[in-house]
Amino acid sequence: MKKIISTVNAPLAIGPYSQAVEANNTLYISGQIALDLETSKLIEGDIKEQTELVLKNIGAILEEAGYAYSDVVKSTCLLSDMNNFAAMNEVYASFYPIKAPARAAYQVVKLPLGALIEIETIAVKF
């Protein structure tokens, strides 16, 4: 059975999609960009600041669904500039200090609202 997950503790979806969907003990979190919770606008920060906010917003969605960062099995990181990879990776590693999930990272032509990073996440309850 499919369950839609939504929380006011993370920015609401800015299009026709859900923050997350849970099916068969697996949580699929839609790509998150660095939207400020209060203003729903992209923050002006650098890649480190944007990555930290994206991961905190993902954390709020995980928590709403009853999951934790330790349940994350796969992340996909979309970067506007691969030259930001090392700085993004430094912040990312602080959220997954042990048993990091599988991950892919790509440079893309453009992200919504001019974001520097977008991360989508899959978590599983075993």
pLDDT tens per residue, range 92-115: 999 999 999 999 999 999 999 999
Domains of the chain (ranges plus CATH)?
Answer: 2-124 (3.30.1330.40)
Does 14 score more than 80 pLDDT?
no
Give one word for 117, left, alpha or beta, with left for phi > 0 and alpha for psi -120 to 50.
Answer: beta
Model confidence, pTM: 0.95
Does 1 score more than 90 pLDDT?
no
Beta-carbon contacts of residue 34 (< 8 Å; ≥ 6 apart): 42, 43, 45, 49, 50, 51, 53, 54, 57, 115, 116, 117
∠ CA 103-35-15, nearest 5°, is 85
Question: Cα separation of 30 and 116, whole Å?
Answer: 16
The position carrying tokens 């993004």 is: 88
